[in-house]
Amino acid sequence: MFDTGNIGFMLVATSLVMLMTPGLAFFYGGLVGRKNVLAIMIQSFVSMAVVDIIWFAVGYSLCFSGGSGGIIGNFDHAFLLGIDPTTPFAGNTSIPLYVFIVYQMMFAIITPALITGAFTNRVRFKAYLLFLVAWLFLVYFPFVHMVWGGGLLATWGVKDFAGGIVVHTTAGMAALASVFYVGRRTIGKKERSHNLPLVAIGTGLLWFGWYGFNAGSELSVNPVTVTAFLNTDLAASVAAFTWLILAWIFEKKPKFLGLLTGSIAGLATITPCAGFVTPAAAMLIGMMAGLVCYLAIWYKNKKNWDDALDVWGVHGVGGIIGTIFLGIFATTAVNAAGANGLLFGGTRFFGLQVFAVALAGFWAFILTYVMLWIINKATPVRVSPEDQSKLDEALHGETAYIDD
């Protein structure tokens, strides 16, 4: 028997996760130059169109069919064959399977869009579309199946509440690979963020949507849902304030952009842990997110890696350390369906989490680099130097501002 309360909650959570992709577009759009706004924003919005189609056709089936212990699913539910509005979701029979399908589709939309901030101003739109499709099949779908779809890592006991491995580690390490392959900007690298209020709007939408991202991942309304919601907010708040203080100390000013960036680092880092750790642990994780991700970006700048919008330092590093912190702080006292971390005697679980996040990082990095190399053989990946500072007009024939 379906529960209308759970269905209603999950539809709201799904809508919140959907809202994160436009939020990401605003966040990234404000960080680039005035003449490159539309070029970065369209990369997020087009994901909403392309991924929906692929998810319906084969994506859901490849992720959530095919039995246990594998790396990728099969085509048993391609085009949602064998599923109708009355089919219950096996993981929670109080909601229809359709609800779970559309909820997971929103995760598939935003994950590849996260990567775009790393190679902003440098990639042609046609090449990006090819990359978007290839990356889903070669990186995202396998890890969804292995972690959430009953595949190999799930059978070993690996946990990822809402996407530290599946979303943030894979996207972050793919971002780093794309930076290495595409190379540095030759024009516009020192171009300042043109619209911080737009970044603030994007941050607000992302933070708001993250409640659906994390709390919704319980797929029901119960005490774990509430804990995940609380942990999400605490980690983001502590990370934001930690980043603000660090910027104040080392950059001599309390930077608004630092506060905003810190909150996203906290949200990314708590994602794998949200429904498995205590609120006190979430606050500590938030503090470490602010510190470690800030240091990661400092290191990136020192090495002159042109990750334009700090996707690796925020999402990649956040997802990696969040997954490791889960292996340390997880407790079945919070969630009986979880595991006990290192602090509670879970040595094996800690080792599994470290292995899983390392596997995801290497997999995403290597395959991303290879697929970009192959795509470049079919069509040039990198834009010309003269177009780097005016991509909106050069690639799309449009401008964001009339005076441009």
Task: Please identify every stretch of the chain with a pLDDT value under 50, giving residue numbers as ranges.
Answer: none
b/e for 164-182, b at 16 or more Cβ within 10 A?
bbbbbbbbbbbbbbbbbbb
Q: Quick check: 235 and 283 in contact, CB under 8 A?
A: yes
Domain ranges across the chain:
4-396
CA distance 208 to 229: 11
Residue 90 has a pLDDT of 93
Q: What is the CATH code for 4-396?
A: 1.10.3430.10
Instruction: Give the distance between the most distant pair of CA atoms in the chain.
Output: 62
CA distance 138 to 367: 7
Residue 404 has a pLDDT of 57
R_g (Cα) of the chain, nearest Å:
20
b/e for 322-358, b at 16 or more Cβ within 10 A?
bbbbbbbbbbeebbeebbbbbeeebeebbebbeebbe
